Structure 1
Amino acid sequence: MSTVSEKFTPKRSIGCLCCLLICSLLCGTIAGCTSKNDFAPVSSGTKKMTIGFSMATLKEDRWLRDRDIFSAKAKQENIDVIVTNANNDINEQYRQVKSMIDKGIDLLVMVPQDCERSAYCVQLANNAGIPVISYDRLVRNCKVDAYVSFDNVKVGQLQAEELLKKVPTGGYLILNGAKSDNNSTMYHQGYFDKLQPSVLDGKIKIIAETWVQDWLRENAYSFVSEQLTHNAGQINAILAANDSLAWGAIDALSEAKLTKKVIVVGHDADLAACQRIVDGTQDLTIYKPIDKLVEKTVEICRTLAQKKKISYEQTINNGAYDVPYLMCDVIPVTIDNIDATVIKDGFQLKEDVYRTSK
């Protein structure tokens, strides 16, 4: 077998060298243009982050706001977010969290439906090596990476202070939130930080107290209706753990023709509550700037995704761990400052708040 080879001549060599030189110059020019003007796509090498946002409920106006603000912030930050709503069903929350983990989320942000039983959801994430942020409600007895919430004890203190100012003596009803929500305990602590001295002095009397299952307005209504039947004339003030419970209480007062005669406080600055404040049927709500809570949460998500340490000033013990507690402040809202707080911040629109006022 023979091999055919071309003879290399000087003339052919010069031609080849010219071709090589021209190609080299062209390649260099193209490369230079690409670098300078970004004609070619450049991969950052970083994967787009996906957050699973597990919500316990969307029944109250407040949680709808959290969902919408969180989703908008994630989109602004080029973060994918999967939002689920457990409809106050712990088993459904467990299934939803498992599904999100199977889909490959990078972080889990969770509003626990049950402060104890939602720990099983956290365990799923722990087993998958996924960081967990407890959002506004604390999950107990499990390993969470951070708790982002408001000053919940202060919420209760501000509510009690307003009642003591308006009703320094008399009978009080207390509508705590759901026992399954750790925040309810924190609000309760805040109430009694302020109420206890007056209770011990006999200036105020706790006529009745309840823990409202699932934070449902209808359950608050039923309890207050029953108390008005049995304790007519003895109830001067109602401390409701949120605006939904305050609404149920005011519905019962309305039926008994006692609106504006019994002082009611709530919290969350829901639209209906702000309308009741300008109408005079609710005395106080508490404004919790959700945009600040969301901003802090997304910031922590980025920190954890980059496997960096969270910067924090305090912790809260969840029964098993000292969890970094990143806290946002709260603002009391009455008829005197509603325009300068929730309306000025754009949390509620003035035309909506004053729509029902006479």
Structure 2
Amino acid sequence: MRKSVAAFVAVGSSLALVLAGCGNNSSGDSSGSGGSGGSSAPAAAGGGNGAKVGVILPETASSARWAGFDEPMLKKALEAQGLTPIIENAQGDTQKFSQIADTMLSQKVKVLIVAAPTGDSGAAVEQIAAKQGVPVIDYDRLNLGGSAQYYVSFDNVRVGHLQGQALADSLKDKKGAQVIEIEGAPTDNNATLFKQGQEEVVKPLYADGSLKLVNSRAIDKWDNQLGGQVFEQLLTANKGKIDGVLAANDGLAGAVITVLQKYHLAGKVPVTGQDATADGLRAILSGQQYSTVFKPIQEEADAAAQLAAALVKGSTGEADKVATATSHDPTGNRDVKSVLLTPQPITKDNVKLVIDKGYVKASEVCTGAAKAACDSAGIK
């Protein structure tokens, strides 16, 4: 009798709650995809012979990227490899995630591509998939303690480094500037890596007094509303004094900016971000956000599709030519073959780059207070 992923994850989730009560932070998430019904389409021409590939994306609440970019780009990339994509979104629900995986495995998918809501739920699904002989590709987020054969993402330590450097650049003329950090979910390994990269830059500046860390808080589930509430609490506790905010993505940055507007500080306090969303780019052009990090998601989707096509054919040698890097999983004490792509820093000076590459439309960005800046930058 086939063991249910849903049942397995339920047990794993209970254990995770017990561990969390003991102060343990496991790893797993960063930004969201597709409609609640998911999508499936006939495969296009290619070498995949129409083999089914299951894709499970994590949520849509914290970031526009999963629905706006990852889902359509993965669909296009997988079809180009001659594969039949079945794409669903867990909407941040670990039980739904496991149920989707159960269904996909019963549909005899040949490969699973997963961006799990949490690392624990992802690792649990991977154990069941392994028992059924279905290879797994971790997409965007490495599931610590999991058994995925491959991992596709951006260099997330580099992402954090770019965020930290942007903050440092924005405050370079303000000795002792007070900083609040609003970080990603503690259950997301990406958030851990972002933090690691940030600290490469800002930790020495905190140590020598160039910057002063007021407080740093991780936001459960990358919840933007919660992020805004936490930031406001930290701001009021510091008597309304703040010089810069290190926000882990554009969604959290937007929540921070809403609070800054309430206190008449928006545009006076540099805020970092990530994902180069339309909202984030608009905030940069209007002077309310200092920076974001652009991650060309089509490259990530293409790499995942290439790996999936190789695995469908049983060619690990071909897959290894795509995944030329490794990522260490400290929980599983193993190195995972990886594709680690290069992120790009974005400030007001190069917003046009993201639009020129077709990831965001000028009409989505050049509205309201950003319109004049778009005109000046030649963004049309």
| 1:354 equivalent in alignment to 2:354 | no
Residue 323 of structure 1 aligns to which amino acid in structure 2? V
Q: Which structure is larger by alpha-carbon Rg, 1 or 2?
A: 1
* CA distance in 2: counterparts of 1:306 and 1:213, whole angstroms: 39
Tell me the secondary structure at the aligned position of residue 83 of structure 1. Answer: strand
Residue equivalent to 2:3: none
Per-residue CA deviation, residues 57-115 of structure 1 (Å, 9 max, x unaligned), is: 12221111101111122233332111111111112111110110001101000001111
Q: Deviations over 1:289-314 (max 9, x none)?
A: 00011111100111111111222332
Structure 2 equivalent of residue 11 of structure 1: none
Q: Which aligned pairs between 1:66-145 and structure 2 lie closer than 5 A? A: 66-145=70-149
Which of 164, 168, 175 is the equivalent residue of 1:164? 168
Alpha-carbon separation, structure 2, partners of 1:225 and 1:136: 30
Is 1:265 aligned to residue 272 of structure 2? yes
How many Å apart are 1:186 and its aligned residue?
0.2
Match of 2:341 among 313, 328, 342: 328
Structure 1 residues 45 and 201, CA, compared in 2 at 3 Å: closer, same or farther? closer
Unaligned residue ranges in structure 1 (runs of 5+): 1-43
Q: 1 CA distance for matches of 2:115 and 2:258? A: 28
**C-alpha separation between the residues in 2 aligned to 1:141 and 1:274?**
36
Structure 2 residue 55 is matched with structure 1 residue 53: yes
Rounded to whole Å, the distance in 2 between the matches of 1:116 and 1:246 is 27
Gaps of 5+ in 2: 1-45, 373-380
Give the secondary-structure state (helix, strand or coil) at the position aligned to 2:59. Answer: coil
For 1:239-254, list aligned pairs within 5 A.
Answer: 239-254=246-261
Identical-residue share of aligned pairs (%): 28
Contact 2:49 2:83 in 1 (8 A): no
SS at match of 1:260: coil
For 2:256 and 2:47, how far apart are their aligned partners in 1? 56
Q: 1:225: which partner in 2?
A: 232
Distance in 1, matches of 2:102 and 2:85, equals: 15
Which of 46, 54, 65 lines up with 1:62 in the alignment?
A: 65
Amino acid at match of 1:338: V
Q: Secondary structure at the match of 2:146?
A: coil
Instruction: Judge conservation of contact 1:98–1:124 (CA < 8 Å) in 2.
Output: no
Secondary structure at the residue paired with 1:267?
coil
Residue number in structure 2 paired with 1:200: 207
* C-alpha contact 2:77 2:302 (8 A) present in aligned 1: yes
Deviations 1:254-312 (A, max 9, x none): 11111011110100001110111111100101110000111111001111111112223
Conserved 8 A contact 1:106-1:130:
yes
Do the aligned residues in 2 keep the contact of 1:112 with 1:118 (CA within 8 Å)?
yes
Cα separation, 2, equivalents of 1:246 and 1:87:
21
One of 305, 318, 325 as aligned partner of 1:314: 325
**1:283 counterpart residue number:** 290
Any idea what SS the aligned residue of 2:308 has?
helix
Give, in angstroms, the shift of residue 45 of structure 1: 11
Q: Distance in 1 between matches of 2:111 and 2:168?
A: 43
* Distance in 2, Cα, partners of 1:103 & 1:255: 51
TM-score (norm 2): 0.80
Q: Distance in 2 between matches of 1:58 and 1:261?
A: 30
Q: Give the letter for the 2:284 counterpart.
A: I
Q: In structure 2, what is the Cα distance between the partners aligned to 1:118 and 1:335? A: 37
**Alpha-carbon distance in structure 2 between the residues aligned to 1:266 and 1:145:** 31
State how far apart, in whole Å, the 2-side matches of 1:148 and 1:104 are.
23
Aligned partners of 2:65 and 2:182: how far apart in 1?
Answer: 18
How many Å apart are 1:235 and its aligned residue?
Answer: 1.1
Check whether the contact 2:55–2:113 (CA below 8 A) recurs between aligned residues: yes
SS in structure 1 of the partner of residue 290 of structure 2: coil
Choose which of 183, 187, 207 in structure 1 pairs with 2:190. 183
Q: CA deviation at 1:233?
A: 4.5
> So what's the TM-score if we normalise by structure 1?
0.85
Deviation readout 1:6-50 (Å, 9 max, x if unpaired): xxxxxxxxxxxxxxxxxxxxxxxxxxxxxxxxxxxxxx9984211
**RMSD between aligned alpha carbons?**
1.6
Q: Distance in 1 between matches of 2:191 and 2:335?
A: 20
Distance 2:210 2:351 in 1: 30
- Spell out, residue by residue over 1:109-152, the C-alpha distance to the aligned partner (whole angstroms, 9 max, x if none): 00011113321111111011001000000011121110100010
